[in-house]
A and B are shown apart, each in its own frame.
Chain A
């Protein structure tokens, strides 16, 4: 009898303590939430990064050229280096960065939830993503477009030839939607074959399971080179979509958005003004151009206006290189990919890379 009484008392006591705890913790956590919201979500990703000592960047782990994990555990690629450039600008060291491999399904949720600071993972800037998902997209760092890979001997020359074809797509991109839209617009029938995994897709495509493979031109180019017989395939001339790939950051943190945006502009500026990692020190000594002086932090305090040190752009270019160097390193002939620059050239050379003045 006594033991039963004891149990009841213990149970009641526990409940009461839980009620009181949860009440008080609710109140305090609400206040904490409110203040921490301002701290982490709305106001200062920058402070969080500085306090943490490194940047957390969401990337792809298996997209050669853009970003992939090499056998030594390093992330290699154009996008990975772009993340390093931002780390160099903020923290002065391109290696103060931690990469999070993300699938395309996970990527936006990871950014929304605050697991990563910025997302550089071939994310196409679309209106829905910009508005509905609570994200901001920077200026595009790569202008891509969707097209089709076909066998040369299939006789397919244009999209119109694809009537009735089986077309394979890697799931998790804007590709499925674009494909569906273009085929509906042209009243072409087709059969989509969707794969989650690149290896399965390539195996099936090479065996002839599908007549065409659709995806972003850059991605198809790099993957064509990985097929058993690259000479047997070709890409169609037509491009069915605009794919401006941009860096994603969270809505509501204007400062961090500005920083990432201006990092990209800095990379563009470097190429436009032919300031590279190799000659930046000599240019720093010799240049008389006001804009370059401002860019390098010698004349005005552009960096501190972003909340960074004034040599942010110097650090970035010196340690990772300008846009042209990054492109050359990961997509150029030496990389084994030889992706043409296309629209991804400075405006001075007829491309779309254009940065506002550094003043």
Chain B
């Protein structure tokens, strides 16, 4: 045996890692083999053929069309879209809210500071499930019944049907909402064109800004161009592109307009309360981590308080805040699964129903694990890319 080679540090390290990998592979392959043989002996070997079969159920809230004859696969997608859509809305709203709370918490105003402090301390110490049940049972379910609903802009149609701009009842909120009308087909191209022109304008402005050294308000001018063209386009389309639809009380339920169910509302409210408290703390820690000398330097250079915050503190605080924010965002997607307790058809709830209908517990649990893993991984991938882009690049 050539001892000198064995004593070489690099060889040793490589050998050790190889051995370690081998051990891992062995352990996992024996686990896999064991599982498969155990499952086979019980007649439970996974099969995914059921995915293309009809699910034979209905789902209360669906973004894409879904009915009794839709497949199990489509049912999973419907659940996934419900989870993803509410997560995105919650993340956006609670980031804004959390930011404001963090600023209040750091403000010199005694009242603001203490309101923010008690908000954060109280909410962070209540389990999310309790918050959700509170919103559902004590707030939304206590709203009046549909028949006695609170209506704004109430009117009665010729057929004797009650309509209104906004209905508030324990079935949720229904309000008038624009829906694509006859002219939409043409108008969507106008919107597209307006968007393209706005982007073009922003690019030109930016290049000019680079030359002159002045910072033009890019977003503002972009928005002006976009709204200007789309407004002008509105009057040129022969039919109205968007039509307002009012909720009407027909039979047992409201139809038309935009309906936000009590379940969605409770889950949304509970989640933003909970998440914003955590986000506020993450942002506060980021802001406070910025060195005091930076502020003093900024003030002595003559920056105003607002400009100091915007140009000196926030860019530095953001870098520190991104990693903890990522884990909070990851939590949101997973927390939506608690919606099952209050009847919101999120991914987990749909999977539960499918397990019952098809009896394919093992396969569906595997699928739901893979989906949640995928959601989390893509969120953290996205945040990591963002993080590495805004990190200080040391030259």
Contacts and interface: CB of A to CB of B under 8 A. Distances in A.
Given A11-B19, A26-B33, A108-B361, A194 B146 contact: no
B250 A164 contact: yes
Nearest to B38: A33
A308 to B, nearest CB: 26
A208 B147 CA distance: 10
Contacts of A104: 356
Contact of A209 (B6, B170, B357, B359): B170
Interface in A174-188: 174, 176-177, 179-181, 183-184
Interface in B311-340: 340
A259 to B, nearest CB: 21
Interface in B10-25: 12, 15-16, 19-20, 22-23
B222 interface: no
B283 to A, nearest CB: 34
A133 B170 CA distance: 40
Nearest to B3: A5
A343 interface: no
A179 B252 contact: no
B162 interface: no
B349 A209 contact: no
A311 to B, nearest CB: 34
B226 interface: no
Contacts of B253: 164-166, 191
Contacts of B60: 191-194
Interface in B21-78: 22-23, 26-27, 30, 33-34, 37-38, 41-44, 56-60, 67-69
Interface string A199-230: 01101100111010000000000000000000
* Majority secondary structure, A binding face: helix
B2 to A, nearest CB: 13
A304 interface: no
Interface stretch (A15-23, A233-241, A323-331): A15-23
Nearest to B349: A194
A166 B27 CA distance: 52
Given A114-B42, A180-B68, A26 B30 contact: yes
A171 B349 contact: yes
B136 interface: yes
Contact of B361 (A105, A191, A197): A105
A359 interface: no
Interface in A53-80: none
B263 interface: yes
Nearest to B358: A128
Interface centre among A37, A168, A209 (most CB of B within 10 A): A209
Nearest to A195: B343
Interface residues of A, number: 66
Contacts of A197: 341
A232 interface: no
Interface in B228-276: 250-253, 255, 262-263
B342 interface: yes
Contact of B30 (A22, A172, A191, A211): A22
B47 to A, nearest CB: 9
A201 B30 CA distance: 45
Nearest to B140: A209
A185 to B, nearest CB: 9
B141 interface: yes
B7 interface: yes
Contacts of A209: 141, 170-171, 262
A194 B20 CA distance: 49
A281 interface: no
B183 interface: no
Interface of B: 6-7, 9, 12, 15-16, 19-20, 22-23, 26-27, 30, 33-34, 37-38, 41-44, 56-60, 67-69, 133, 136-137, 141-142, 145-146, 170-171, 250-253, 255, 262-263, 340-343, 345, 349, 352-353, 355-359, 361-362
19 contacts: A5-B6, A8-B16, A12-B19, A22-B26, A154-B252, A164-B250, A164-B251, A164-B255, A165-B251, A171-B353, A172-B352, A179-B58, A183-B68, A184-B68, A196-B343, A201-B343, A204-B136, A209-B141, A211-B252
Q: What are the nearest 6 A-B pairs in CB distance? A: A134-B43, A184-B68, A208-B145, A164-B251, A165-B252, A207-B141
Interface of A: 1, 4-5, 7-8, 11-12, 14-15, 18-19, 22, 26, 29-30, 33, 37, 41, 104-106, 108-109, 112-114, 128-129, 132-134, 154, 162-166, 168, 171-174, 176-177, 179-181, 183-184, 190-197, 200-201, 203-204, 207-209, 211, 251
